[in-house]
Structure formats: structure tokens, C-alpha cells
Structure 1
Amino acid sequence: MSTPVTPRARRTRDRIQAVALDLFERHGYGATTVEAIAGAAGVTPMTFFRHYPTKDAVVVTDPFDPLVAAAVGAQPADLPVLDRVRRGLLAALDAVDPDEDEVARRRVAVVAAEPALRAAVVASTAATEAAIVDRLVADGAPRLDATVATAACLAACTAALLAADPGTPLHATVARALDVLAVAP
């Protein structure tokens, strides 16, 4: 059972992330230390690590897995699994507000510029994949089908985000990637 996040903790977490992104954009991911992030955010390194277990977590961690899994689960069960995942991902993106979209675009730009972060992206994507697959299996989808469909959709999204124009809204980039996987009627 996870501990509820207080408004104060959320503000601190958001401040740390905003400062980290500013520093990464200005000085580069590799040249920015946790100590520099903590100092600029007005917190101690211990407080930083209370909110983010690693420096890369500031860039690759997001709160969207439960939202995405629920959006996939809300799709009609009679659709092919690939369509459920595609539609669910798009529905989840529709729920992202403009401020969250901007932060996500900044995070993607940092990852795209820093190949060392790719392993952290893979680990984060695996957590998203597990949440979606578990939801689909709970709804009766065969695990193999759920795993393949989810992996295909998430790989398409990741590839598109890393190659996209930084000014393009995330929704447009992801929608285009998922359209590539669409099965013609």
C-alpha cells in the first residue's frame, strides 16, 4: 500500500523536477549533479532522494501508469487487444493537461539528447507495460496477446517520441505512432 502524497510533498517533488529539467537543459544531464539539483531546488540531497531514488528517475518517472491501464481497460472488450491498447493510450493522453504535456515534452527532449538514459526509459516502460498487460489479462485477454500488443504500442510511442520534433505536442506524436500500428477496417 502506497503512502498518499500530500500537497506539500507534491509541490516539493514538482519543484525538484522543474529545477532538474532547467539544469539539464542548460548544462546537460551528465554535467548536472544531484547536489546541484537539490541546492537549486532549496532542498537537501536526502530530500531529493526521498522524492526520486536516482537522478534519472527525475526524467523517466511519471504518474501515468494507473491512468493508462485504466484507459486501456475501459476500451470495449470485444475489440482486438492491439486496438484496445492503442485506443486506451490515446484516451489516456487526452486526459493530460497542457502543463503536464509541457513537462513531459521537456523530459523527452532530455532523454533524446542523452543516450545514457535509454536504459532507464526501458525500465520505466517495462513498468507501464506490466500495468497494461495485467489489466488486459484481468479482463480475459490471453497474456501473450496482451504482452505483444502492449509492447508494440509502447515501442512505437517511444520510438516516435525520441525522434519527434521537440515542438510537436506529445498527443500528436503518439497518435501518429499509433496510427502506424492501426489495422485498416
Structure 2
Amino acid sequence: MTAPPTSLRERKKAKTRAAIREHAMRLFEEQGYAQTTVDQIADAAEVSPSTFFRYFPTKEDVVLIDDVDAVLIDAVRAQPAEVPPVEAIRRAMRQVFDDMSPETWEFERRRQRLVLGVPELRARMLQQMTDAIDMVAAVIAERAGLPSDDFSARVTAGATVGALLAVLPSGGVGHIEGVTPGDYQRLEKALTLLQDGLPLG
């Protein structure tokens, strides 16, 4: 999803980060999120706990950090200036989702399944929605040549994030598998409804 690191140092850092995350996900799935400690993750990844914290500030962040966010924002930024903001986001989502490999989709499914299935992660994820609105508002304002704190850009961002959140899997019993490629159609429909003024029915 991101450009491959070029220097040897960057490649080693990327490899270490990926190893920590993969061992953490495996342990969370095998023995439970709450039962897994940072020490256990570090031991499995053959790094020190201090190294773990250099890559992930908290245990929660191993799951909650979304590597797709930055790619999506860059794709929105790259849309032609004349494209309205919600349409730019819709086009960017299609581009990013179409470019995701099966391996990336599988990782996202695992990650979202943990977020939806672990109450403390789900609560933290909902708290992060403010950060998501900030991020989307900033790129909307940038594309329009407006100040980063523009009120209209923030309201548009809030409406967009809210629409997307409304159609993601709810995490209810029997539905905690996380996002799938098919979920893009629901996200696209949500954005289309938003563009059309949210007609009912």
C-alpha cells in the first residue's frame, strides 16, 4: 500500500515493524487480546520491549494504526481540483481499494475483526473518529485552497466519515469478520447518498 523503503536501514525498520505486528496479531488471535502482553509480543518477534514501543506507542496501536489512511489521503489529494470533495473521496477509495492485494485485504480483515470483537479496541476506534475528521477536513480544505480549519471543510469531512462509519460492520454477534472487498460497494453507496442530499428510501 505504500512505496517500498529504499535504504537498507529503512528496509530493516519496515521488516521489524511488520514482524512485530504479525506476531502480535497471531498471539491476539491464539490466546486473546487481553491475555497477550507486550513482553510476549516482543519475545515472539525477537526484539526488546523498548523496541516494540519505538514502533507502536501502545499495545492497542498494533491493531488500531491503519496504514491505509495515509494512502487514501494521498489519493484524495491527487484528484483534480474541479472534482467536488465527496466525489474526490469516492474516487480515491475506489482507486485505493482496487490496488489492494489479497494479502492486504486479509490483513485488514484480521485487523478489523479484532477491533470489532474487542470492546476496548472498538471504544478506542470510535474515539479516533475525531482524528479521522481532522485528517479528511485538512485535505478537503487544501484542495479547495481554504484554511485548514475551514468550517465547511470540517462539516463535509464529518458528514463523510459519519456516512462511512454508518455502513461498516456493526460488530454485532455473528458479524465480526471485519471489512471485505465487497464492503466497498456499501461505502460507495453511502457516499453517493451523501452527494445526492441523503434521500430516504
- Per the normalisation by structure 2, the TM-score is 0.76
1:45 matches 2:52: no
> Residue 69 and residue 163 in structure 1: after superposition, are their counterparts in 2 closer, same or farther (change >3 A)?
same
Aligned length: 182
Alpha-carbon contact 1:125-1:154 (below 8 Å) kept: yes
Q: Please name the residue that 2:151 is paired with.
A: 144
> Residue 32 and residue 158 in structure 1: after superposition, are their counterparts in 2 closer, same or farther (change >3 A)?
farther
User: Counterpart amino acid of 1:99?
Assistant: E
Structure 1 spans left out of the alignment, 5+ residues: none
What is the DSSP-based 3-state SS (H/G/I as helix, E as strand, rest coil) of the residue aligned with 2:144?
coil
- Flag the structure with more relative contact order, 1 or 2, with Cα contacts below 8 A and sequence separation at least 6: 1
User: Counterpart amino acid of 2:159?
Assistant: A
Partner Cα distance (1:169, 1:54) in 2: 23
Partner Cα distance (1:49, 1:68) in 2: 26
1:16 matches 2:7: no
> Residue 119 and residue 136 in structure 1: after superposition, are their counterparts in 2 closer, same or farther (change >3 A)?
same
Partner Cα distance (1:166, 1:119) in 2: 15
What is the DSSP-based 3-state SS (H/G/I as helix, E as strand, rest coil) of the residue aligned with 2:13?
helix
Partner Cα distance (2:108, 2:94) in 1: 15
Q: Which structure: larger Rg?
A: 2
What is the DSSP-based 3-state SS (H/G/I as helix, E as strand, rest coil) of the residue aligned with 2:34?
coil
User: Counterpart amino acid of 2:160?
Assistant: C
Q: Please name the residue that 2:39 is paired with.
A: 35
- Per the normalisation by structure 1, the TM-score is 0.82
Runs of 4+ in 1 over 6 A off after TM superposition: none
User: Counterpart amino acid of 2:184?
Assistant: V
Give, in angstroms, the shift of residue 11 of structure 1: 0.8
Match of 2:118 among 111, 114, 118: 114
Structure 2 spans left out of the alignment, 5+ residues: 1-6, 197-201
Q: Which moved more, 1:75-84 or 1:49-58?
A: 75-84
> Residue 15 and residue 125 in structure 1: after superposition, are their counterparts in 2 closer, same or farther (change >3 A)?
farther
Q: Deviations over 1:53-72 (max 9, x none)?
A: 00000001123333211211
> Residue 174 and residue 156 in structure 1: after superposition, are their counterparts in 2 closer, same or farther (change >3 A)?
farther
> Residue 159 and residue 47 in structure 1: after superposition, are their counterparts in 2 closer, same or farther (change >3 A)?
farther
Identity of aligned residues (%): 31
Q: Please name the residue that 1:86 is paired with.
A: 90
Partner Cα distance (1:121, 1:141) in 2: 30
- The Cα RMSD (Å) is 2.7
